Amino acid sequence: MGKWQRALNGKINDVNITTNTAPSLETHVVKGACPHDCPDTCALEYHVTNGKLIEVKGSASHSVTAGVLCTKVAKYPLRTYHPTRVKTPLKRVGNKGEAKFAPISWDEALAMVATKFKSIIAEHGAEAILPYSYAGNMGILQYSSMDRRFFHALGASQLERTICSSAGAAGLQVTLGSRLGTDVEAFAHSELIILWGTNPITSNLHLWSRCQEAKRRGAKLIAIDPYKSLSAEKCHKWLAIKPGTDAALALAMMHVLVRDDLLDHGYIANHTLGFSELKERVRDWTPERAAQVCGIAANEIETLANAYGSTKKAVIRLNYGMQRHGGGGMAVRTVACLPALTGAWTEASGGLLLSTSGAFPINTAYLERPDLMSCNANGELPRMVNMSALGDALTALNAPPIKAMFVYNSNPAAVAPDGNKVLAGLAREDLFTVVHDIFVTDTARFADIVLPATTQPEHDDIHRAYGHYDITLNRRAIDPIGKSLANTEVFRRLAKAMNLSDPCFDESDESMIRQAFDWSHKTLSGQSFEALESDGFLRLKYPKKDGFITPFANGEFGTPSGKCEFYSEALAKHGFDPLPTYTPPHEYGDANLAAKFPLALNTPPARNFMNSTFANIEELAKPHGAPTVQLHPADAHARNLREGARVRVWNARGEMKLAATITEDTREGVATILWGHWRNHPGAEGFVNDLTSQALTDLGGGATFYDCRVEVSIA
């Protein structure tokens, strides 16, 4: 018996396998966790009457949630009981893309998938099968457990999950060595908050409420963003930076900090590596030079740097906006150097927050079983396919070509860049596509088989977070709608249908939930699953100051040197500049392309949507109306466009026709379309992601959604 089997058998026997029936009390409250791709991971309360979900509330006792939910999840019953939910497995009876389906049974559906997978493996090898999933559900089980075991055991192509955060994660990793950051609750005590490429009113509500609290206490709020977002509008200062130039601004800030000696020499000496090289690097990065690159006046850069250097209670919330550009990884790395220069990490309310996802001691190898993958004749593991270049993978990949794709937790026809290529791939008659989702999404319209998925109150899970330090438990509150099944159960059944015999495919969700974390890890010392079960959440143990987690107050960075690495040997080894640097964006930095397509296209999310999730819920979609393209008055004037004009936004990859809105909220030279609508939304033709590019970031192989050039003309 192998190591894994022994561990698993022992553990399966230790726990009660719970039955899947919701209690039938008349009214009760069940504790849950929000599954959406949001840093806040709210602790929820499901209010259930006679087996029906009546209301979803934010837990008042969970300090991050503080009893408040965003509009989307506060209206969750609308999603769970939506009339257009997929309630039974379906098979395609029309053309691909037509969304004509007929219901079939689960047994029939699983047999069809297994038969097709087996014949593809026999003819082309297992690498011809591609799983495609992202963060529709961020529960540790539903995001990555039984699914990974299944595809690992098959030997399917591995998916590089790069569509969101991989560039920033790589930038943070080489600089700080860990994905840890300032405690969200400490923001309330900051004196200066810089919102750098982020719009928390939309995407990080519980951080925004702490920013407001700080503002009431007298803190200064500054937004750095090419678009005057809902949050930028409420800051004291909006610095309308040119897209993709953030690293240049950070280098100029460092220039001022060094020039004016606004430095914490003790922190630099004890906890950083490469200060003398950094000093050399920033010598030429005068505010005047950065002003040319960033389109922000030199005196504004001086003021920003001075404000930043004058208090240690200065915190930077950077998010993924700045890293969706060609130089995005290096931009995050460069900004991440700032708090170590001023010693802001020594204050609980200072420092920087990109992600806390590295804080959690997850038993990833146990949950995902990478050991089930076997090597080919050349001793290699199954190939990696980058999800951000799906269009090319489906239309150009060979040896073997992708013959089957299994999509779950994602909607690539809407969210992946270069949408025309993605659709061309999905339309291939010889591609067998399975989509497991709650609704017939833009992707499911092309599926050969659609499988019905549960929503969060219909299954169990356990959660980490990427915006705070708490583990949260989600308990099933209602019976599944129709014949829907959770991701874990689908892959459990599919493993049986494919005759996979490893005992890991018999493991229950409850067993995986209890072993998702390493309970012997120091961050969980003195904590127990039982306490988590009774409270619904618990906080990891990290060093604290003033009651807040301070990850780097005493250094202890996760880099090879244990220091904040201004100089990175790891980068040098991989052929990158070892020092912070400005890498111009691919398209925005291309003068030839600029002549043809003079505008930068910025497509950040709209408030009531969560990527492409929620746009089909009428009550949430209505306030946003049809999508529009926002243009600066100067750009509109140059093209003779009036408010409301029907325009064509286009480039070499695709086009979109929609109404123009003329506003100074978007920087001159930047066209902004808030995204999240589905394809074929009334009032628009074409689609946002038909314009965006499959080019990848410098570090982390990430997507470059905001590094995109277009022209706009009358339609």
Ligand X SMILES: Nc1nc2c(c(=O)[nH]1)N[C@H]1C(S)=C(S)[C@@H](COP(=O)(O)OP(=O)(O)OC[C@H]3O[C@@H](n4cnc5c(=O)[nH]c(N)nc54)[C@H](O)[C@@H]3O)O[C@H]1N2
Interacting residue ranges for ligand SF4, rule: CB under 6 A: 34, 36, 38, 40-42, 69-70, 72-73, 205
DSSP 548-578: EE-TTTT---SSTTSSEESS-HHHHHTTS-S
712 binds, among ligand SF4, ligand X, Mo ion, none (CB under 5 to 8 A by kind): none
DSSP 59-94: -SSSTTTTT---HHHHTHHHHHT-TT---S-EEE-S
205 binds, among Mo ion, ligand SF4, ligand X, none (CB under 5 to 8 A by kind): ligand SF4
Question: Quick count: other Cβ atoms within 10 Å of Cβ 97?
Answer: 15
177 binds, among ligand X, ligand SF4, Mo ion, none (CB under 5 to 8 A by kind): none
- Shortest distance, position 612 Cβ to ligand X, whole Å: 3
Q: How far, in Å, are 224, 228, 293, 304, 524 from residue 237 at the CA level?
A: 8, 10, 20, 10, 41
Taking a C-beta distance cutoff of 8 angstroms, is the pair 467, 452 a contact?
no
- Shortest distance, position 37 Cβ to Mo ion, whole Å: 5
SS3 428: coil
Spatial CB neighbours of 67, under 8 Å, sequence gap ≥ 6:
57, 58, 59, 60
The runs of H, that is alpha helices, within 260-361 are 265-271, 275-283, 287-294, 298-309, 328-336, 338-342
DSSP 469-493: SEEEEE---SPPSTT-B-HHHHHHH
Question: Closer CB to ligand X, residue 437 or residue 698?
Answer: 437
SS3 265: helix
321 binds, among ligand X, ligand SF4, Mo ion, none (CB under 5 to 8 A by kind): ligand X
- Shortest distance, position 34 Cβ to ligand SF4, whole Å: 3
- Shortest distance, position 429 Cβ to ligand SF4, whole Å: 38
Question: Closer CB to Mo ion, residue 164 or residue 600?
Answer: 164
Question: Closer CB to ligand SF4, residue 205 or residue 414?
Answer: 205
Question: Closer CB to ligand X, residue 472 or residue 559?
Answer: 472
Q: Which residues bind ligand X (CB under 6 A)?
A: 37-38, 134-137, 142, 163-164, 196-199, 202-203, 224-227, 229, 241, 243-244, 246, 319-322, 325, 408-411, 414-415, 436-439, 441, 453, 487, 602-605, 607, 609-613, 675-676, 688-689, 692, 705-706
609 binds, among ligand SF4, Mo ion, ligand X, none (CB under 5 to 8 A by kind): ligand X
Question: Closer CB to Mo ion, residue 42 or residue 164?
Answer: 164
41 binds, among ligand SF4, Mo ion, ligand X, none (CB under 5 to 8 A by kind): ligand SF4
498 binds, among Mo ion, ligand SF4, ligand X, none (CB under 5 to 8 A by kind): none
Question: Closer CB to Mo ion, residue 120 or residue 140?
Answer: 140
Question: Closer CB to ligand SF4, residue 71 or residue 713?
Answer: 71
Question: Quick count: other Cβ atoms within 10 Å of Cβ 647?
Answer: 22
Q: Which residues bind Mo ion (CB under 5 A)?
A: 164
671 binds, among Mo ion, ligand X, ligand SF4, none (CB under 5 to 8 A by kind): none
Spatial CB neighbours of 147, under 8 Å, sequence gap ≥ 6:
131, 133, 408, 487, 488, 491
Please state at what angle helix 246-259 crosses helix 275-283, rounded to 10 degrees. Answer: 110
Q: How far, in Å, are 231, 349, 563 from residue 359 at the CA level?
A: 27, 18, 17
Question: Closer CB to ligand SF4, residue 385 or residue 453?
Answer: 453
40 binds, among ligand SF4, Mo ion, ligand X, none (CB under 5 to 8 A by kind): ligand SF4
Question: Closer CB to ligand X, residue 40 or residue 191?
Answer: 40
Beta strands in 423-547 (DSSP E): 432-437, 449-452, 461-463, 470-474, 537-539, 544-545
